Amino acid sequence: LSGGQKQRVAIARAIIKDPKVLLLDEATSALDRGSEVVVQEALKNVMRGRTVLSIAHRLVTIQDADCIYYIQPRDPCASPGSPEAFSHILEHGTHQQLMDLDGAYAAMVRTQNQAAERKASAGTTTGTDAASPTLRAPAGFLSEREGLLDAEREDRMKGSKGFKRTAKYNHPEWPWIVVGVLAAAAAGTAYPVYAILFAEVLELFYAPV
What domain range is 189 assigned to? 170-209
Residue 128 is predicted with a pLDDT of 45
Assigned domain for 78 exists:
yes
Average pLDDT, the chain: 77
Assigned domain for 69 exists:
yes
Residue 134 is predicted with a pLDDT of 39
For residue 49, give the CATH number of its domain.
3.40.50
pLDDT tens digits along 58-68: 888 788 888 99
Does residue 77 share a domain with residue 100?
yes
Assigned domain for 137 exists:
yes
Residue 93 is predicted with a pLDDT of 93
61 Cβ contact list (under 8 Å, min separation 6): 27, 28, 36, 40, 54
Does residue 11 share a domain with residue 91?
yes
- Using CA atoms, how far apart are residues 15 and 11, in angstroms rounded to an integer? 6
Residue 124 is predicted with a pLDDT of 55
Number of domains making up the chain: 2
Residue 12 is predicted with a pLDDT of 83
Q: Which residues of 164-198 are buried (b: 16+ CB within 10 A; e: fewer)?
A: eeeeeeeeeeeeeeeeeeeeeeeeeeeeeeeeeee
Assigned domain for 125 exists:
yes
Low-confidence ranges of the chain (pLDDT < 50): 128-144
